[in-house]
């Protein structure tokens, strides 16, 4: 899961970075670091994201981003 998916997931759920951090049990600083691509999402955090938001929501975002990115060449 990349930063774009992570950001879209947070925004689609109407969450601030602080609220996302609380849901996932991490710091707001870590959310910011991930969203700016300074650190990849760990497997452990990715599992938490899947547990909290569900694989379906993540898959929909991934497909939408692929469609958008695919259109830009």
Count CA atoms within 13 Å of residue 31 on its CB side: 21
Confidence (pLDDT) at 73: 40
Confidence (pLDDT) at 68: 85
pLDDT tens column, 20-69: 999 999 999 999 999 999 999 999 999 999 999 999 999 999 999 888 87
Confidence class of residue 71 from pLDDT cuts 50, 70 and 90? low
Contact 49, 1 (CB under 8 A): yes
Contact 58, 66 (CB under 8 A): no
């Amino acid at each position: 899961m990349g930063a774009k998916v992570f950001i879209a997931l947070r925004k689609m759920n109407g969450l601030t970075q602080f609220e996302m951090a609380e849901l996932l049990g991490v710091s707001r600083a870590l959310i910011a670091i991930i969203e700016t691509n300074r650190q990849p999402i760990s497997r452990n955090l990715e599992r938490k994201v899947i547990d909290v938001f569900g694989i379906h929501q993540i898959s929909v975002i991934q497909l939408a981003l692929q469609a958008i990115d695919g259109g830009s060449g």
